Amino acid sequence: MAFSKRLFAACAALLFGALAHAAPLDNPISPGFNYGSQKVRGVNLGGWLVLEPWITPSLFDATNNPNIVDEWTFGQLQDRDRATSVLRNHWNTWITESDFAAIAAAGLNHVRIPIGFWAFDVSGGEPYIQGQLPYLQNAVGWARNHGIKVIVDLHGAPGSQNGFDNSGHKVPSPQWHTNQNNINRTKNIISQLASMFAGQSDVVTVIAPLNEPAGFVGQSMLDVVRQFWYDSYGTIRFPFGTSQQSNTLVLLHDAFQPLSYWKGFQTPPQWQGVAMDTHIYQMFSQAEVSRSNQQHIQNACSRTDLGTFDLWVIVGEWTPAATDCAKYLNGRGVGARYDGSYPGSSRVGSCNGLTGSASTFSSDYKTFLRQYWEAQTSTYEKAAGWIQWTWKAEIADEWSYQAGLKNGWIPQNPTQRQFPNICG
């Protein structure tokens, strides 16, 4: 307790200097989902409030401009009225309340909803089109109606925290961490999110303050990320301006570091309500894309470290897809390592029948998808649980939870097993 008081004082000093001598923590934390005993089973609502070329290639192809490769250029390089009406139509139709009904009917208990900084703030002169925020707020109401918990995930930060197109702006090297104004703007958004949802912690159980910061850049990024996690803890866990803790969990991302890097970071009892997010993909390197089906499954099964870490670990992104064949997965106009069309890659095989419509998938392939799905969910449930990327994709059924349900490689009840011994 004494330590907690000091900790609170430190946070309060950071946040509200005048409150540095506020009362001690008095309420035990009571999250809106029992993360210690129930398993997170969920899907990401990818490609909705943050565009991704590979999830909705039609929106990009329809621009007839190959330089439109992300949401930034989507706003920048075409008529703004047209871009605005296309985006509005997309926000209105890609995800609706009926998706939440279907997600609940599939036995899932969580959605993770990516949102970009530009929904809040384009004061840096960014060319983004705004209007996403009311959709996020509506989605929280739909989640409530259907008994689904929401992880609100800041997926893009000013300057880009990873340079990926899914951060909003595809850039050769991330700039977020190089400029204090970028960091200040991001902190301000986390503060807005924390106060927006603090009163709805029974539905918005978790805020993830930054998706996939590029720890692989090096120490300069990791130093900024660590400080940002400290600041986000104060903001999300103490949104009331008092010593009262919220029930909202903070979900940190591992910044592409091994879990061992984060050992002891923000752990209880000194820190309360912190969980760790890790993303597991096996197709973004030549070595991974070259693995046999059996090796993909074995690699998934080998992740026993997830269940023994000192924070709850949620695998917040993963997929039963085993190749990078999906159109635009590596970026609009960029090819795939699997078939050798990615610069510098060496061909493993043809992408035919491995991506696109499930009607082209062989029964052997669908059996593999089921095995790999079960291997992953069984392993990730040894930790706090899993959130598949992603609920829908226009023409990449191997990634789509919806298509998996429809075509049988994902069970109607996520606890069903056809291969209960897949991990031996």
Ligand X SMILES: *[C@@H]1O[C@H](CO)[C@@H](O)[C@H](O)[C@H]1NC(C)=O
The distance in angstroms from the start CA to the end CA of the chain is: 44
Can 381 be counted among the known catalytic residues? no
Would you count residue 184 as binding ligand X (CB under 6 A)? yes
Best CA proximity match to 253, nearest among 188, 313, 176:
313
Least distance in Å: CB of 194 to ligand X?
Answer: 17
Instruction: Name the helix (H) or strand (E) containing 93.
Output: helix 80-93
From the number of C-beta atoms within 10 Å of its C-beta (0-12, 13-18, 19+), residue 340 rates as: middle
Listing DSSP states for 380-419 in one string gives: HTTTTEEEES-S--SS-GGG-HHHHHHHTSS-SSTT--S-
CB closer to ligand X, 71 vs 126: 126
User: Which residue from 181, 304, 350, 362 is in contact with ligand X, where contact means CB under 6 A?
Assistant: 181
Would you count residue 18 as binding ligand X (CB under 6 A)? no
From residue 345, how far is each of 8, 172, 174, 292, 294 by CA, in Å?
A: 51, 19, 24, 17, 22
Of the ranges 77-85, 178-186, 208-216, 231-239, which one interacts with ligand X (CB under 6 A)? 178-186
Catalytic residue among 52, 71, 126, 317, which?
317
The Cα 150–Cα 390 span in angstroms is 15
Would you count residue 17 as binding ligand X (CB under 6 A)? no
CB closer to ligand X, 17 vs 36: 17
Catalytic residue among 126, 212, 374, 398, which?
212
Least distance in Å: CB of 120 to ligand X?
Answer: 16
Task: Report angle CA 203, 235, 114 to the nearest 5 degrees.
Answer: 50
**In 255-270, which positions are buried (b, 16+ CB within 10 angstroms) versus exposed (e)?**
bbeebeebeebbeeee
- Which residue lies nearest ligand X, judged by its C-beta? 184
The Cα 259–Cα 282 span in angstroms is 17
CB closer to ligand X, 181 vs 270: 181
Of the ranges 12-20, 153-161, 180-188, 391-399, which one interacts with ligand X (CB under 6 A)? 180-188
The three-class DSSP label of residue 265 is: coil
Binding mask 274-303 for ligand X (x = CB under 6 A): ------------------------------
CB closer to ligand X, 73 vs 235: 235
CB closer to ligand X, 188 vs 293: 188
Of the ranges 153-161, 177-185, 225-233, 277-285, which one interacts with ligand X (CB under 6 A)? 177-185
CB contact at 8 A, 179 and 8: no
Least distance in Å: CB of 227 to ligand X?
Answer: 12
Best CA proximity match to 139, nearest among 155, 157, 151, 122:
151
Binding mask 232-251 for ligand X (x = CB under 6 A): --------------------
CB closer to ligand X, 177 vs 370: 177
Of the ranges 176-184, 236-244, 261-269, 394-402, which one interacts with ligand X (CB under 6 A)? 176-184
Q: How many residues belong to the chain?
A: 424
Of the ranges 9-17, 179-187, 201-209, 282-290, which one interacts with ligand X (CB under 6 A)? 179-187
CB closer to ligand X, 20 vs 101: 20
User: Which residue from 37, 93, 180, 260 is in contact with ligand X, where contact means CB under 6 A?
Assistant: 180
Listing DSSP states for 149-199 in one string gives: EEEEEEEE-TT-SS--GGGSS--SS--GGG-HHHHHHHHHHHHHHHHHHGG
Least distance in Å: CB of 181 to ligand X?
Answer: 4
Tokens of 256: 């592409």
From residue 286, how far is each of 299, 302, 333, 368, 399 by CA, in Å?
A: 15, 20, 19, 20, 19
Best CA proximity match to 250, nearest among 264, 229, 269:
229
Least distance in Å: CB of 125 to ligand X?
Answer: 15
Can 212 be counted among the known catalytic residues? yes
> Active-site residues: which are they?
212, 317
- Binding residues (CB under 6 A) for ligand X: these are 180-181, 184
